[in-house]
A and B are shown apart, each in its own frame.
Chain A
Amino acid sequence: MEIREKILNYIETNSRVDLKDLAVMLGVEETTVANEMAAMEEERIICGYHTLIDWEKTSIEKVNALIEVRVTPQRGRGFDSVAERVYNYPEVNAVYLISGGYDLLVTLEGKTLREVAQFVSDKLSTLDSVLSTKTNFILKKYKDHGTVIAKPQEDERMLVSL
């Protein structure tokens, strides 16, 4: 496996790893890891280092929605310009172009149901190229970014075994 792939595999789920430790684990120099990571940030292979938060456990209210959007692609620019108009809204978390029954999948975070509904009816649906929307609210997150949200199992192995 190439060094970049190894770095990415590791930091995808452990982005807070000490670069010195990561270098030791991969059997390379620390500067190699630092340089590769800097280069990958530059090339936008690494696009950010985020934190996976279970907001349910805080007192902060959040409402998440998945919105299926059907749009009319534009001549010469396809779906890109409408996608751009959508992703520029700060409340939009993610925008994906989707194959199948609709075109864009938009994930959205709002404080209340009302706020999300308002965004969809006032901002999203009124865009010229948007044909229709279908809003799905997320009721519970079980797993996100490859990580199970519930508390991980305790180590049930015996303390000593041969």
Chain B
Amino acid sequence: MRNPLSERIVEIPFSGIRKFFDIAAEMKDVISLGVGEPDFDTPWHIRDEGIYSLEKGRTAYTSNAGLKELKIEISRYLERRFHVSYDYDKEMMITVGGSEAIDIAMRAMIDAGDEVLIPQPSYVSYEPCAVLAGATPVIINLKEENDFRLTAEELEQAITPKTKILVLPFPNNPTGAIMERKDLEAIARIVIEHDLFVISDEIYAELTYLDEHVTIASLPGMRERTVLINGFSKAYSMTGWRLGYACAPKEILEQMLKIHQYAIMCAPTTSQYAAVEAVRNGDADVSQMREEYNGRRRYLVKRLREMGMPCFEPYGAFYAFPCVRQFGMSSDEFATRMLQEEKVVVVPGTAFGACGEGFLRISYAYSLSKLKEALDRMEHFIDKIN
């Protein structure tokens, strides 16, 4: 029989957390700080609207780009929260999570051989999506000394004549890093100078704990070269609803929409109706959850530092990214031993790129009591190995 598989696909590695999942699934009394999604239920008024839409029999496809009502609400929201305006009709589409938007943005903009700049550590899908679209991914290794922000120098050094796209994954999973306005302004200058485009994955935009999140699309000259990606998963605790959106200049958006039309048809209808309620009446839920995350964040970072794990101040998302180099173990070894000996799951930084070596991703999307118990176990582990 011939090999049924595509070489290009086979060459893409599986994600680095499989092993931990397999070990943890076999164990009892495991406490996990390894989850990349909120612990809150979707607020009831949002769920209720989803249920209501089902009761009303709204179970057909929506238009490819998504419900008009939802897109209008999102354009108001983006204006109100992040001071960018998009034409809901021509510059916006509803996607199956932010993930789909990342994929189709790459496919719509890339030709074979184009280089895509991907800062790491970062979410795991950018590199495979770039490869699948035929691009050559070029990794920029972010540094702890810069609080894992992307600097203009790092960007400039990575640019070649083939560079077309910069992926901007902030607030960042796994590091919790953010980019402030001044950081973005420096990046924007280089992007414009070298005529690049930006795919800005802002799925954690609502979860920032310093100043208000700034989108690079709101900076002068950037709107026309940015695909802005956001969604409902993190802000409204709606991961399982699979709903995101992309905003981009008309020429880019209509090509993305073409891929979406053939591959997906439309985002889930029930989710879209629920999302109308989320974006219309959900601001208070978001700020309440943000406040709760922020308390846990402060608690987690303090405990980590107290137990001898240096940790830069993570101002975004719901992760801390402490350093474990001082224990003389690799991230993977540390995480594996901690799981086996203390039954605590964390994700080694290397799951998010080679430069994550020496770090762990610790999620604080857990109740304080869960966090506390997990941290007590971690402390016990560190006492033991020291």
A residues bordering B, Cβ < 8 Å?
1, 6, 9-10, 14, 17, 21, 24-27, 153, 155, 157-162
Contact = CB atoms under 8 A, between A and B. Distances in A.
Given A21-B299, A21-B368, A24-B298, A161 B291 contact: no
A160 to B, nearest CB: 4
Contact of A162 (B15, B295, B298, B299): B15
Nearest to A153: B41
B35 A161 contact: yes
Contacts of A160: 17, 20-21, 24, 32, 34-35, 345, 347
B296 interface: yes
B368 A159 contact: no
B30 A25 contact: no
Given A21-B368, A159-B30, A159-B32, A27 B298 contact: yes
Interface residues of B, number: 30
A157 B123 CA distance: 19
Interface string B316-348: 000000000000000000000000000001010
A159 B39 contact: no
A143 B357 CA distance: 47
Contacts of A159: 20-21, 24-25, 30, 32, 34-35, 345
B178 interface: no
A125 to B, nearest CB: 40
Contacts, number: 60
Nearest to A1: B291
15 contacts: A1-B291, A6-B291, A24-B302, A153-B41, A157-B35, A157-B39, A159-B20, A159-B32, A160-B17, A160-B32, A161-B34, A162-B15, A162-B36, A162-B347, A162-B351
Given A25-B296, A159-B25, 8 more contacts: A21-B299, A25-B368, A157-B39, A158-B35, A159-B35, A161-B34, A162-B347, A162-B352
A161 B30 contact: no
A156 to B, nearest CB: 10
A158 B298 contact: no
Nearest to A23: B298
A142 to B, nearest CB: 14
Nearest to A22: B295
B278 to A, nearest CB: 20
Interface string B339-381: 0000001010001100000000000000010001000000000
Nearest to A155: B39
B144 interface: no
A106 B372 CA distance: 41
A160 B298 CA distance: 22
B5 to A, nearest CB: 23
B124 interface: yes
Contacts of A155: 39
Contacts of A162: 15, 17, 36, 123-124, 173, 347, 351-352
A118 B294 CA distance: 52
Contacts of B25: 159
Closest A-B pairs by Cβ, 10 of them: A25-B295, A160-B34, A159-B32, A159-B24, A160-B21, A161-B36, A160-B17, A24-B299, A157-B35, A160-B20
Contact of A25 (B35, B124, B299, B351): B299
Interface in B17-35: 17, 20-21, 24-25, 30, 32, 34-35
A25 B369 CA distance: 13
Contacts of B291: 1, 6, 9
